[in-house]
Amino acid sequence: MPPRPKPWWAGPRAPLPKEAGTEAALTVDYADGTTAANEWHTDDPCLVTYPAIGILHAVALPAVGGDTLWANTASAYEHLPAPLRTLADALWVLHSNTFDYEDAAKNRAEQGAGSTVFQAEHPLVRVHPETGERTLVLGYHAQKFLGLNRADSARLIGLYQDHITRPENTVRWHWALGDVAVWDNAATQHYGIGDFSEKRVLHRSSIEGEIPVSIDGRRSVRRRGG
Chain segment 144-200, per-residue pLDDT in tens: 999 999 999 999 999 999 999 999 999 999 999 999 999 999 999 999 998 988 888
Side-chain-side CA neighbours of residue 2 (13 Å): 2
pTM across the whole model: 0.83
Query: For position 225, what pLDDT does the model report?
Result: 79
Total domains present in the chain: 1
Among 36, 15, 52, 190, which residue's Cα sits nearest to residue 126?
52
Query: For position 38, what pLDDT does the model report?
Result: 84
Residue 5 lies in a domain: no
Residue 72 lies in a domain: yes
Domain region containing 93? 26-224
Q: What is the CATH number of the domain that holds 45?
A: 3.60.130.10
Among 168, 142, 140, 141, which residue's Cα sits nearest to residue 153?
142
Q: For 141-167, b where at least 16 C-beta lie within 10 A, e where not — what string?
A: bbbbbeebeeeebbebbeebbebbbee
Side-chain-side CA neighbours of residue 58 (13 Å): 18
What are the residue ranges in the chain where pLDDT is below 50? 1-14, 33, 101-105, 107-114
Query: Side chain identity at 69, as an amino acid letter?
Result: L
Residue 114 lies in a domain: yes
Side-chain-side CA neighbours of residue 200 (13 Å): 27
Residue 66 lies in a domain: yes
Residue 110 lies in a domain: yes
Residue 106 lies in a domain: yes
DSSP letter (8 states) at residue 3 = P
